[in-house]
Amino acid sequence: MSVSYPPPPDTDPSAVQPLAPGGQYTPDGRWYWDGRQWIAITVLGPPWARPYAPPEGQAAAAVAMLALASAAAALGLPIVTLNLITTLATAPGLRVALLRVALPSLVALVVQLLGLVGAAIAVPVWMHRAFRNLPALGERGMVWSPGWAAGGWFVPFANLVIPYLCLRELWKRFGDERLLPQLYWAACIGSYVLLILGDVFFRTGARALWYLSELLLSVAMIVAGFLIITMVRCISRRQRDRQTELRDR
């Protein structure tokens, strides 16, 4: 998407410059157009600062993938529950029911994996765009950069902390008073713990505990998906509103 700018600041100051919507920055971030004149930015933004770019497209992709993974996890809840009941019971009818849900269980697992893989790409891309917009929206003093906001998801062990810190910074600037980043990351850490426990239970043959851990894992993933979808939509909407406010000044 190309971004057009009013005449550059080094043109003849005596010339009458055409009016244009305010709220625009030059690509180097050194000048701001208020609708009538260029204003020098005395406190420069970070070197990665860029003009505002709408995050709605990236947000829509992230929400779609997260919703797909969460829906598949919700679909798997009754299946895992039936597996757990079947393991604890000995009724022949329940054994037959278990065979009947084997195919739906496999379908739900495949759909969930597709959603998780898509979200693993879409969410970092959205975070990169949302973070890159911060200087253009008047935010200063950022601790993290767009590169870390996106790349932090793929650094082993660091991905347990950096994405949370970047998401918390975005929420601090364009969220509300709710502790959604903290709740989201608690659900994520809980998912990791349940995943490890499930592997241990599976290897030791504790089938009932394995199904119980799978059930709790599905719940944790649904909660995490709902929380991050809420944050993605809220942050994107508030960035758009801030840009509209700056442009209309």
Token digits of residue 59: 């947000």
The answer to whether 149 and 171 are in contact (CB under 8 A) is no
Q: What is the mean pLDDT of residues 22-51?
A: 69
Enumerate the β-bridge partners of residue 24. Answer: 33
SS3 call for 154:
helix
SS3 call for 52:
coil
| Local confidence band at 89 (pLDDT 50, 70, 90 cut-offs) | low
The burial of 156, by beta-carbon neighbours within 10 Å (0-12 exposed, 13-18 middle, 19 or more buried), is given as exposed
Look up residue 20 and give its amino acid: A
So what's the pLDDT on residue 27?
59
Note the pTM of the prediction, 2 decimals. Answer: 0.77
Cα–chain center distance at 27: 26
User: In this predicted model, what pLDDT tens digit does every residue of 143-181 receive, in sequence order?
Assistant: 999 999 999 999 999 999 999 999 999 999 999 999 999
Share of the chain above pLDDT 70, in %: 76
Instruction: Give the residue from 176, 59, 179 showing the smallest Cα distance to 125.
Output: 59
Look up residue 197 and give its amino acid: L
For 50, phi then psi, to 5°, come to -140, 165
Work out the end-to-end distance of the chain between its first and last CA atoms, rounded to an integer number of angstroms: 24
